[in-house]
Structure 1
Amino acid sequence: MRRTGTTAGCALSALALATALAPPAHASSSSLTFETIPGSGDVELSAISVTPETDGPHPLLVLPAAWSTHASWFTGAASKLAYESGYQVVAYTPRGFYDSGGEVEVAGPEDTADASAVIDWALDNTDADPETIGMGGISYGAGISLLTSASDERVDAVGAMSGWTDLEASLYPNETINFQAVELLLLAGELTGTPGETLEEARDHYREGDVEPVLEMAPERSAATKIDQINANDPAVMLAHPYNDGIFPVEQIPEFYEELETDKRMMLSPGDHSTPELFGAAGLPNPVWEDLTRWFDHHLKGEDNGIDAEDPVQLRENSKNGEWRTYPDWPSATADTETRYLEEPKRSMSHWQPTGGMSEEPAPGWGYSIDAGTGTTAHSGTILASGALTQFLDLPTSVSLPLVNRDRAGVWAGPEYPDGATVSGTPSVELEVTPTAEETSLFFYLYATTAYGTGELLTHKPYSLRDATPGEPTTVEVDLQSVVRDVAPGHHLSLVVDTDDPRYTGDSERGERVEISSPEDGSAALTVPLG
């Protein structure tokens, strides 16, 4: 690994995360109790149980805690759900973390068996209604909830916030290691938990540059591979996710949502991993938790609260003061698409460094070569921090396009939008690349740019070529991360492609080169979804 500076940053982030999410002081309430629940294989799980003050039976909510967090972090939300909404709530710390027994199994079969065991315990030891059972959680808890809904048909409703559906796409997007995410998860897990054999093997091989064990364990731990079981069990599923999630990239959520055949709802909003719903876990006012409560109220308690009559796709524009927009389905969020063909980067009166245009007509037959293995001022930001800055302060990751080194990157600028525009959906890029090495990583950045060249990052995506033939052109098609973001009047879109980004472990080495080209029999292009 060649990211020592970033590793230190991840370490500080993990320490801050572990400190912020450490168990709060025990709440004093006669109806809140701290329990030890037998999980699968005689593993004891630390839990809190909150019982409503009204007579039962009560609909049951089971809340697995997030990675490296304790069940008592849900004290506020659990109390609110119990006292204000009448749920029997059981929140528990997944195996291997804090004072729960066993070892961390990364949402494996042991974890879904634990979730079912917690349901069993609640039905045997509380006045929970066996006919109305829901599960929900943030991050790790979201993943466990979705996976349990595939294996346990008793789960009637699920709320998954900042979770994943495809573990490989999260940790190894387009065959590129999501370095900051992997390092943060590993360090946080080691600080607060006891890694199991699966996690230890994956970690040790990863440290040696071998990701195969991660890829082997990913399918079993991905709800996307269990979509048929989930559809067969028919739980009502609500997905909530931030656009800028640095650990579990957002685009997997709409893809999974479209495959669901159950009652479903999807909320995408500004923020980074877990930040849109974090304060709601403490019982504070929060739009995601408010909608989640309405979701459970309708599907578990039968309340006619109107949520079933609303458009199920709820998208908030990716800015601090962004407005919510609603659609009947994910494709409807894109009203139109605009294809811009990439022209050969050249110097001009308006661009002192070589910059390509974006035209309405194909522009085939050019090539532009860049140095590989060295980054530019274009980058995707830092996980947890960058998305949170967009959410709370409207400060997206930015760059001065004139300062992006054209020896190390290709840069293209589109025409201005006189009346503004809204990028709404999943942008994509298609071009041809010719590397001088068998393995090369590329990083794609799409910016909303002012007339002075200041670009605000809209979306990005890594892409790595594996076993390429040096000197032989390869067509690359990349879907960028999904987003809804307004482009101000007079601004334009800019595309940057380089070969290094601090968030990822790339495979481009110094001394190598990559030619970006538009083939004679095709044309390099950016496709933009517009709302």
Structure 2
Amino acid sequence: MRSHRSDASPRRRGPRAPLTVAVIAATVAAVLLAGVHFLGGPSTAETGGSASPAVSGPDGSGTGEPGLSGESKAVYSYQKAVRESVWVGTGLDSDGDGKEDRVAVDIVRPGEPAAKGRKIPVVMEASPYYSCCGRGNESQKKTYDAKGRLIRMPLFYDNYFVPRGYAFVAVDLPGTGRSDGCTDAGGRIDVQSAKVVIDWLNGRAHAYTTRTGSQRAAASWTNGATGMIGKSWDGSVANGVAATGVRGLKTIVPISSISSWYDAYFSQGVQLVGSAPTPGTLIRTVETDATGARCAAVNKPLGDQAARSGDWSPIWSERDYVAAADKVRASVFVVHGLQDLAVRPKEFGRWWDALAKAGVHRKIWLSQTGHVDPFDYRRAQWVDTLHRWFDHELLGYDNGIDRAPMADVERTPDHWTTDTVWPPRAAASVTLSPGRGAKEGVGTLGTSPGTGTAAFTDDQGHSELDWAEQAATSTPDKAGFLTQPLGKALHLTGSPELTVTATPTTPTAGLSAVLVDIGPATIRQYGSGGLGITTLVGRTCWGASTTADSACYKQTEADTTHVTSTVFSRGWAALGTCADAHKVAALAPGKPCTLTLDLAATDHVVPAGHRLALIIAGTDRGFAQRAADRPTITLDLARTSLRAAAVGGSKTLTAALG
């Protein structure tokens, strides 16, 4: 199993509202197709105050030097900030019109530092959503006046950080907003076009004052130190840019973001449902009709070559940032929801592992929400932490955040714990084996190797919640294995792996596996429309405002539900990938096949008195595309085992199992 070991030497290069098929499909489609984000901002202008100001540097300027203590302070005027737009040449001609693509870059920066000859760092977000779909919990878009001058940025980044001595830079990805070219769903065009903006900020690329003109624009006001941030697609591009090793990118903050686009569409050969069928259909939701027509040649391969068979192809290699993690020079602050069903936790798990191996300086927040921004589930702490992170990484303040606990993990709604490193150093690999139980159809889960077989028939009409509710009941569509009630809490962390030897009756077969905490609990209602939050009427303010750009955003609170079982890790695989993980092959009915199924990264405590269940079944309705066949699958229990990381290792596991 992959434990996401986090203590590699640092390299400073840098329900139960029911989760129905309709809810899952609508939620995931809304996030991936429409670009809905859960980060707030009002649509009406308000006058708002800033959060409590922190301590400035010795000169009171809010722009620090390495080794300075304290925090940047809101000493610059947001109302008088410089608001400008430039178009950066990308060196690409993605739409084939014979002209270099230029991407639109909107900038808000304090005017005072440049007037005094001081250069400032940049907080940057590159997004396809600024014009088509909006950003945040209130779907804010960029707004311009009649002359095309920027008057409002989405989200709070400019309102909060510009008065503290940062510039905020918002990039329209190619083919969206006011940019040329074609977007390509996290591919070379997206990544190169965001990277070249960092090159421009560091004097290595050219920008222009208009979309088509020849007058150059210089970034003489910045020192080039850049931190990228973004949620979903935006954060995915930040991952991709970091994986180029571009100089000047000091840190990234990817929120609910993709690290390998294959995993957004497939899981070990199984096509996942609820998202756009291919990257080509996804990008058509952010491009205008005119751009879509112009970019048909780019979009078509993203549909045709992204094989629905689940086979790996060059499309996915180009969009696999994990493979280039050893090039990352920036620090990485990962934020993800452990119940994110749109960008699944497997995405951050593999990325975290690779970054740890490369010695990258990291930090992580893990919530119990779905696809939600931390601004909307832990607002005050998030703004404070992000402020300290950027002050340390971009301004050089010695504020202690690099010595603070690496991980914040939400255990129950609004209850958080911290870990010095993640996963905790006390985590060690353990093996759990399924076995035949005294009750027909309901097996055991323990440390003794299993014997015999267990069989189930793919129903294609049941989901993980159906299986969890009936974990202790024999049903023909699943094989369930349960521990006895735990005598001691069991803390599982990292990415579990299930090795199975299975014999199908048909040429195609899909497998699903879920880990379930069986016992009463109050959890965030991640399957609801709010994905675990409820949006309220009142607002709080985070930064300075103008008449057109308010710093005040709707408050939220946890949307909770009471359950008797909680699925906390899940995974899917086509049994036909047992011979080659990158290719789905036809199976020989009656012939056993062995594969290792990767379950999603998790960090979950099964309380004393609860039971841990492993459920293995066929099609997971609402998550996995139905297989062509409906096989009966027989598991060889002697050759089936679950490997996970448990805090306290085998000793704690033995104590928990009694």
Conserved 8 A contact 2:331-2:361 = yes
CA distance in 2, matches of 1:12, 1:229: 33
Tell me if 1:240 matches 2:335. yes
Higher RCO, 1 vs 2 (CA within 8 Å, ≥6 residues apart): 2
- CA distance 1:141–1:11, shift in 2 (3 Å): closer
Structure 1 partner of 2:435: 343
Structure 2 partner of 1:202: 302
CA distance in 1, matches of 2:42, 2:300: 29
Structure 2 partner of 1:423: 492
Matched AA of 1:335:
A
Shifted more, 136-145 versus 34-43: the winner is: 34-43
Tell me if 1:463 matches 2:561. no
Tell me if 1:454 matches 2:537. no
Over the matched positions of the two proteins, sequence identity in percent amounts to 17
CA distance in 1, matches of 2:417, 2:365: 9
Structure 2 partner of 1:387: none
Conserved 8 A contact 1:317-1:485 = no
- CA distance 1:39–1:330, shift in 2 (3 Å): farther
Q: How far off is 1:407 after superposition?
A: 0.9
- CA distance 1:89–1:16, shift in 2 (3 Å): closer
CA distance in 1, matches of 2:403, 2:479: 47
Deviation track 1:491-524 (CA, whole Å, cap 9, x = no partner) reads 11111111112343445345421112223xxx43
Conserved 8 A contact 1:34-1:49 = yes
Structure 2 partner of 1:363: 450
Structure 1 partner of 2:166: 87
Aligned residues: 491
Secondary structure of 2:268's counterpart equals: helix
- Please tell me whether Structure 1 or Structure 2 has the larger radius of gyration of its CA atoms: 2
CA distance in 2, matches of 1:511, 1:527: 28
Conserved 8 A contact 1:151-1:229 = yes
Matched AA of 2:107:
S
CA distance in 2, matches of 1:442, 1:289: 41
Conserved 8 A contact 1:317-1:484 = no
Structure 2 partner of 1:78: 158
- CA distance 1:198–1:503, shift in 2 (3 Å): farther
Q: How does 1:39-438 map to 2 (within 5 A)?
A: 39-40=89-90, 41=92, 42-55=100-113, 56-65=118-127, 69=134, 72=142, 74-83=154-163, 85-119=164-198, 122=201, 124-149=217-242, 150-183=244-277, 189-193=283-287, 194=291, 196=295, 197-204=297-304, 209-211=308-310, 215-230=313-328, 234-250=329-345, 251-273=349-371, 275-277=372-374, 279=376, 285-312=379-406, 314-330=407-423, 332=425, 335-345=427-437, 347=439, 354-364=441-451, 366-379=452-465, 399-401=468-470, 406-438=475-507
CA distance in 2, matches of 1:160, 1:10: 19
Q: How far off is 1:102 after superposition?
A: 2.1
Secondary structure of 2:335's counterpart equals: strand
CA distance in 2, matches of 1:190, 1:278: 28
Deviation track 1:46-68 (CA, whole Å, cap 9, x = no partner) reads 44311125423111222112655
Conserved 8 A contact 1:414-1:493 = yes
Deviation track 1:234-257 (CA, whole Å, cap 9, x = no partner) reads 222222222222233322233233
Conserved 8 A contact 1:375-1:498 = no
Structure 1 partner of 2:72: none
- CA distance 1:198–1:279, shift in 2 (3 Å): farther
What's the Cα RMSD here? 3.5
CA distance in 2, matches of 1:131, 1:34: 17
Deviation track 1:187-221 (CA, whole Å, cap 9, x = no partner) reads 66433325544443222455x83555x73222222
> With structure 2 as the length reference, what TM-score do the two structures score?
0.67
Q: How far off is 1:147 after superposition?
A: 2.2
Q: How far off is 1:433 after superposition?
A: 0.6
CA distance in 1, matches of 2:38, 2:490: 39
Matched AA of 1:371:
T
Deviation track 1:377-410 (CA, whole Å, cap 9, x = no partner) reads 5249xxxxxxxxxxxxxxxxx9422586621110
Deviation track 1:443-499 (CA, whole Å, cap 9, x = no partner) reads 101111129993211111111112232211122322321211222221111111111
Secondary structure of 2:485's counterpart equals: coil
> With structure 1 as the length reference, what TM-score do the two structures score?
0.81
Q: How far off is 1:15 after superposition?
A: 7.6
- CA distance 1:298–1:496, shift in 2 (3 Å): same
